[in-house]
């Protein structure tokens, strides 16, 4: 059921709700954590969304890896590829800075 709802959000251009959903999701009862895992799995199959999710949850390495993949696949717009490459490098610097602390 959750997959259907997530797909609907993407089709209807409401994917931002998915990205903010997990931030506000706090398991209160046993089993509610499953929804969080289902959303993470769903976003993992949608690269264009997953890097935003990784960024918002401070998973810099995962965001950088996804951006690198997206940049490598980008063939239509050079400017989009450059932005993804710059973000990839920025997130990799975040990982380096955090590990140095």
Query: Could you give the C-alpha distances from 48 to 27, 73, 98, in angstroms and in order?
Result: 26, 12, 25
* pLDDT for 11 beyond 80: yes
Only one residue has tokens 């959303």, namely 39
Confidence at residue 25, expressed as pLDDT on a 0 to 100 scale: 45
CA distance 86 to 74: 14
Q: pLDDT (tens digit, 9 = 90+) per residue, 70-94?
A: 888 887 888 878 887 888 878 777 7
- pLDDT tens by residue, 16-50: 887 776 544 444 445 555 666 777 788 878 888 88
Three-state SS at 30: coil
Look up the pTM and report it. 0.62
What's the mean pLDDT in 54-63?
80
Count, residues in the chain: 101
């Amino acid at each position: 059921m959750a997959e259907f709802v997530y797909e609907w959000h993407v089709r209807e251009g409401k994917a931002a709700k998915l990205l903010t959903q997990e931030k506000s999701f706090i398991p209160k009862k046993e089993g509610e954590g499953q929804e969080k895992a289902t959303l993470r799995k769903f976003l993992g199959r949608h690269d264009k969304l997953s890097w935003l999710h990784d960024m918002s949850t401070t998973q810099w390495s995962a965001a950088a890896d996804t951006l690198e993949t997206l940049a490598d696949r980008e063939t239509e717009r050079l400017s989009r590829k450059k932005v993804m490459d710059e973000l990839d490098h920025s997130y990799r610097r975040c990982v380096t800075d955090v590990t140095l602390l």
